Chain A
Amino acid sequence: MFDHELILRVLGLTVVGAPAALFGVLGLSSLRGKPLNERAIVTCVQSAIFAGLLASIAILAMMLSLGTRHVPIPLGHWVSIPHYHFVFKFEFDRLSVPFVILTFLLCGTIGAFCNRYMHRERGFNRFFVFYSLFVLGMIVTSLAGTIETLFTGWELVGLSSALLVAFYHERRSPVQNGLRVWSVYRLSDAALLLASIVLHHLTGEGDFDKLVSVGTWPEGAALLTESQCLLVGLLLLLAAMGKSAMVPFSGWLPRAMEGPTPSSAVFYGALSVHLGAFLLLRVSPILDASPVLCVAIVVLGLVTAAFATMAGRVQTDIKGVLSFASLTQVAIITAEIGCGLRYLALIHILGHACLRTLQFLRAPSLLRDYHMLENAIGDRLPDLKTPFDRRSPARWGDWLYRLSLERGYFDSLLSDFVVRPFVALFEWCDGIERRWTELVAGGSSRPADQTDPSQTPLEDLQ
């Protein structure tokens, strides 16, 4: 047994270590101001992903042959005092192994794709730094055995996603949309952080397996009481909603389509958008303990799915269409989780991620595909009406059309009811601070405010 454990441990560390090493190499060389050349980057990416993929498949094979269903790999106690400890721990089980293999498979394919797609692009190195950070975040999140570990990966995914949305930072809208993605992510991060604090408060530790008394995923029962489960569960649900673009946070998903096509494909279409669902799967014992929570999740899932289907039907750009299509499925997956269909949800995630990635990568082929379909059919493409289209009365139809075209007004509602009060509060604080500093300084205290950042153009066009 010892041998097996050692092998599993080495393999497990490879799975986490490969992307970490990749990020280390790419990140450090960029920090030194001497980024690697394209060829070296590609070699690094390919070997790291390949090593990770092989190791994770080997773990799967060993787990199947040994019949183990749970392989924890603790990285030691970081803080350990009475009634509290803080552990970094990775776990391989029926949930995390498929997710890790999926991540390596899709990221590996995208890595190979981007090798040619991003060739000679100025941000080639920057892209792969973000990419490696993203892979690392995904792997850490998938394997997390404690809520703190999960939070670490969750943050890395959020950071790299926002930076990838803003990849073309010389234009205005990628930066704005990147910021929007980032803000929504922060909101969900805050909820996750709160959940982890509450969990620590209640149980003294953040280990997922301590939430569960007996059995491994997906069996097991929560150790918390029903009301405790509901509290933690709602916070986790909020976190999942932000990450998976559920109503009312749906606005960021179509806006995230600013980066290079493959990054939109794998990150928002396939992987990171499923993280919310993954989180709910991970804490499924809590869901089992609280029927109210389950109902809330199902309702949220169905509402989001209905909204996304409707909004998807009026989108005129391919990436918008695909992002709402993704959202529809993610919402259905969420509803499935709420209904307790854990394995179905997992299979649905895997299938959806693969198919959507392919569709996103082929998004620029749309015109040719339509042309070929028209030729095959021998006529214009038929309108595929749903029963819904035939029934809705014209008046309502127009209203719903506008609602869908404007993407449910969620963005402006969020700006009005969340962002504005928030900004107003901080402006008020800023005003107080300014009054105070001016009082202390005895005059104007912030000369920088007066400087005009605008410049005279260097190249005249007169």
Chain B
Amino acid sequence: MVSALDVCARQLGSAAASSRLEQVIAQASQLLPAQGPITVFIHHNTLHAFEELTFDEGVQAGARTFGCQPYLTEDRYRQELARGRIRLEDLAEILVDDLRERADALIGPLGTRYHLRLAMLQHPLRSGPSEELRWFIAETDALTRLPKKLPTESRERLVRETRLWVLDNLRNGHDHAHREMLTDLLARYGAASMESWSEATWESLALQTLWRTCREGVHCLAAVPAKSPEFVRPRDWLLEATGEDSDRLVNELLIRFSAAFLDQGMAPWTLPHRAEGFFRAFIALYRQSAGPPDRWLSGLAAELDRLEAASIGPLESILESLDMLGVEEADWNEFLSETLLSLRGWAGMIQQMELRADRVRFPAQPGSVIEFLAVRLILERLALKHVAQTALRLSGSLGEIPEVARRRIVQPPAVSVDQRAFLLFQLAQGRGWSAPGLLQMPREVWSLLMREIEAFSSIERRRVFHRAYERKFRVQTLDALAIHGRKRSARVESPKFQAIFCIDEREESMRRHLEEIAPETETFGAAGFFSVAMYYRGAADAHFVPLCPIVIRPQHWVVEDVAFTAAGVHQRRAKTREMIGRASHRAHVGSRGFLGGALITAGLGVLASIPLVARVLFPRLTAMIRGKATGFVQPPSGTRLQLERTSSPPSCEENHIGFTVEEMTNVAERLLRDIGLTSGFARLVAIIGHGSNSANNPHESAHDCGACGGARGGPNARAVAEMLNDPRVRNHINSRGLQIPNDTVFVGAYHNTCNEALTFFDLDRLPPSHDAEFTTFQNVLEQACAQNAHERCRRFLSAPLNLSFAAARRHVEARAEDLAQVRPEWGHATNAICIVGRRERTRGLYFDRRAFLVSYDPLQDDAESAILTRILQAVVPVCGGINLEYYFSYIDSPGWGCGTKLPHNITSLLGVMDGAASDLRTGLPWQMVEIHEPVRLLFVLESTPAAVLKIFDRNPAIKRMCVHGWVQVATLCPNSAEIHVLCGDHFEPYRAEANELRQAASSADWYRGQRDHLEFAEIVS
């Protein structure tokens, strides 16, 4: 693509530099968040750009780049250790696995490296600035009392050894070297009365000698060289030297301007010259005279005039700015990445609007990120100049900032003797090392010990902790599968009903309850778009919405029509709706204006108190009344899908809507073969899509079906059911060797995962022969919804634990309509497992709504595992993306996620800011992830290691995520309960730790009265 900008740059003879610059910018902008407009929320790996690295390298590199946390805090892991969520044996296993042959190396006389590290994990090691530590030592009881949590053994050993040593030393006096240390202590406590010293005195003496020994021991060690700060951005230099942040000035203006540039229809008065692009619009707006009186902006108009007069384009302007700021070409990448990331939400959104121009009303022109960067650097120059002048009294060129700032920066203190000594002091207490033992150590051992301790840094400890945290869960899962897998498993013989759900882990409980209520039911899991990739427009919708995973671009269009007999009613109602819509839009906008606002607020405003009070105090009742009141304008019931296409090619035009019979057959066959439903059909098969609706929730779409690209999957279920019922499609499918009995009927339905409502489609086409069965099935499904609501309610603190099923359903209904409810549902929170295999292998296991369940029959797959491959191609990125997004948003909520949603402020109809103005916040809000357990998704594939490795070889994208450890992978043998776990690039057999699984009579029995995560159990009825 040759843009006008390029041409311009070339004419001026800097083509080579420009194209290099363009490459660098393209590379830098890959770090930007890939989240598009919030109305269609698509989950993906927050650190997608780092997938080339292994998980641990990736999160640590990402953490450095973005300034966020890679794992939970050490304190948090220790809490988990204390409450048993991490077991000591997990830590031990992980350490052995991590160190391998290096584990047994002796570190002086004090034990092996393994023991040292384990102790460092077990005992909290605190640190802080030297001043704080000195205060701590002097002012607290650190030198008089041993910590209460210390094991008795260490505690006793410490005191005993010290006592013996002191007595021995006093009597024999041969330890002259250390006598001095003791003299003043003995004087303080009164050596004469030593025999009558209390335990407390000895304890204190032991601690005093220990602290002195540690200090003395590390005193003579080589000091750690202090690291002087290095930055590429002059802003960082200034911030470090003066505490003044030039980004604050730049961001405030740039946020306002970017929001105006990207606005999708919020402000009635749009940005002038928006169509000319970010750069031109900015110049046009800010080069006018009599501009903002802010001091730092005083040179802006002149600078923009200069750019305009010399017709300097954005790329050239960036080159110019880089030059003025004194950034070397080698530093371009780092500098530009950091500059872009300083307002990454907005920069990322501009990039998305540029890339996904088809999905928004007002897209951004190609090259907008470059223009954004150019404007940013112009403003940054002005801000830097201003800050340098006011805070640093520097009036020279901007390139001098680093040098001048460096002189001003106080050298950060190196790791001090006190800090090292304190680390050792704590460790010694934990391990029960007393002063006399340590005093024997030669200096080499001290230095070795210190090196060892410092090598196992906090970040390393957190990594090990995290592994152990995941291990406990993995063992629990694989044990459950291994034990359950030993039982004979078979499909339900002549099932009465079958139901195909989305693979979503929220449907796990739904399926389980359904199977418990009606054991003659068989359930399946397929990605919730049910192989129907389409643009869809409902009867009352304005626009087509893509309903398929984000990686697919639909080739077909489907619309919902109203049946011919009701067309008149439909048109009348549509007219009424339009009228009401236009009027309320007018009132909506008018209430914010001058005259309209005055009339509405003064005249009718008081009436607003009625819905205000009603909606807050009685959300469910108000919603029911509103539903009744608006019912008369909804499209009449009895709609149908316009599904069959008569002319090609497919498009959104009349006659080009829909699929051909051949295409329908492909879709239908693909669905059935994927889930392995090729025989043993029931007379009734429900296909159930899902979605969610919640009031007052900007992140509503994040609760919808991920396989439908953050939209609601009802129409997909409806479409595929209609295709499967089509006799012509059945004929075609029959000819491809898949026999569907004539009396099998498919019914599409939609499950609302928030309020647990279930809607069936096209019931008027149900043959009378199936009426009775359908009624039974419907009742069973409704009952399953109520029980599902009940199981969900155990996680809501505001729902009492003793709710009945019906009350639980009322509770979730109110939640969905409540304006004040920030946790309408938990969404994907707690997701942790993805099982790809036959339901028989997992049926009867309580997975606590934590498992994505994908139906796949390995026995029907070919030697090349073609079916498994295509399943994994969709499931690994989608489920892995969901899981990693939750992982990061939980680990560092304000950093990777978007923090608490209470102050969120919808902006430009695209996303949310924190409060009045901030960077655009990406990721998930804290209220969505609060109960999540940050573990990487564990895939369990019902297949053999060899088959899976073969798939890896042919699919680099899958392999990268699995082998680099962004997800965990295990296989469950199709013919036995053998399990293999992927370690690096090969599989190792798994040995179950437990011998039996806890059992319960029903799900409700197992979870009743519990709020927290539950262990997995077998439900035996």
Contact = CB atoms under 8 A, between A and B. Distances in A.
A159 B772 CA distance: 67
Contact of B696 (A112, A259, A319, A364): A364
Contacts of A117: 820-822, 902
B64 A461 contact: yes
Interface stretch (A148-156, A202-210, A309-317): A309-317
Query: Which has the most chain B C-beta neighbours within 10 Å: A319, A350, A367, A405?
Result: A367
B546 to A, nearest CB: 15
A315 B578 CA distance: 27
A119 B798 contact: yes
B1 interface: no
B284 interface: yes
Nearest to B266: A316
Nearest to A317: B907
A305 B597 CA distance: 11
Nearest to A167: B903
Interface in B116-147: 126-129
B556 interface: no
A273 B611 CA distance: 22
A261 interface: yes
A355 B540 CA distance: 29
Interface in B572-620: 574, 577-578, 580-582, 584-586, 588-594, 597-598, 600-609, 611-613, 616-617
B909 interface: yes
Contacts of A370: 265, 909
B259 A317 contact: yes
Contact of B616 (A112, A379, A452): A112
Interface in A306-365: 306, 309, 312-322, 324-325, 328-329, 332, 344, 347-348, 350-359, 361-365
Nearest to A399: B288
Contacts of A401: 269, 271-272, 285
B458 A113 contact: no
Interface residues of A, number: 108
A444 interface: no
Contact of B541 (A168, A354, A375, A386): A375
A430 interface: no
Contacts of B885: none
Contact of B918 (A173, A313, A399, A452): A173
Contacts of B259: 316-317
A324 to B, nearest CB: 8
Interface of A is mostly: helix
A416 B591 contact: no
Contact of A462 (B39, B459, B914): B459
B412 A377 contact: no
Contact of B295 (A357, A399, A416): A416
Contact of B906 (A329, A366, A405): A366
Given A365-B696, A384-B268, A257 B542 contact: no
Nearest to A398: B272
B609 A105 contact: yes
Contacts of A114: 820
Contacts of A373: 581, 584-585, 588
A120 B915 contact: no
A348 B601 contact: yes
A118 B901 CA distance: 10
Interface in A159-175: 167-168, 171-174
A382 B578 CA distance: 12
A458 B459 CA distance: 11
B263 interface: yes
- Among A105, A306, A364, residue most surrounded by chain B Cβ atoms (within 10 Å): A364
B907 A316 contact: yes
Nearest to A114: B820
A258 B915 contact: yes
Contact of A377 (B542, B602, B904): B542
B295 A351 contact: no
A264 B612 CA distance: 16
A459 interface: yes
B107 interface: no
Nearest to A262: B820
Interface residues of B, number: 112
Nearest to A371: B39
A368 B700 contact: yes
Given A355-B605, A375-B542, A402-B291, A116 B798 contact: yes
A448 to B, nearest CB: 13
A119 B70 CA distance: 28
Contacts of B594: 305-306, 309, 328, 332
A402 B286 contact: yes
A316 B39 contact: no
Contacts of B930: 120
A347 B604 CA distance: 10
Contacts of A309: 593-594
B361 interface: yes
A257 to B, nearest CB: 5
Contacts of A352: 601-602, 605
Nearest to A320: B916
A261 B284 CA distance: 35
A114 to B, nearest CB: 7
Contacts of B894: 171
Interface in B257-278: 257, 259-260, 263, 265-269, 271-273
B601 to A, nearest CB: 4
Nearest to B286: A402
A374 B916 contact: no
Contacts of A372: 581
Nearest to A322: B592
A85 to B, nearest CB: 39
Given A325-B597, A350-B606, A386-B593, A404 B269 contact: yes
Interface in A115-136: 115-121
A128 B612 CA distance: 20
Contacts of B129: 455-456
A391 interface: no
**Residue from B265, B616, B900, B907 with most neighbouring chain A CB atoms (10 Å):** B616
B139 to A, nearest CB: 18
A188 B798 CA distance: 43
A420 B798 CA distance: 51
Interface stretch (A20-28, A292-300, A406-414): A406-414
Interface string A248-275: 0000001111111110000000000000
Contacts of B69: 459
A352 B609 CA distance: 10
A256 B588 CA distance: 23
A352 B290 CA distance: 36
A254 B63 CA distance: 33
Contacts of B410: 452
Nearest to B697: A364
B457 A462 contact: yes
Contacts of B913: 317
Given A348-B598, A367-B909, A399-B288, A355 B591 contact: yes
B339 interface: no
B550 interface: no
Nearest to B128: A458
B666 interface: no
A447 B458 CA distance: 34
Interface in B365-423: 410, 412-413
Contact of B915 (A118, A174, A324, A383): A174
B591 A168 contact: no
B127 to A, nearest CB: 6
5 contacts: A167-B903, A363-B906, A365-B695, A458-B458, A461-B70
Of all A-B residue pairs in the complex, the 7 with the closest CB atoms, nearest first, are: A351-B605, A376-B581, A258-B915, A325-B592, A317-B907, A260-B902, A352-B601
Given A173-B918, A401-B285, 19 more contacts: A105-B609, A109-B613, A113-B616, A113-B820, A257-B903, A317-B905, A317-B916, A318-B266, A321-B266, A362-B819, A364-B901, A367-B39, A375-B542, A376-B584, A377-B578, A378-B574, A398-B288, A460-B459, A461-B60
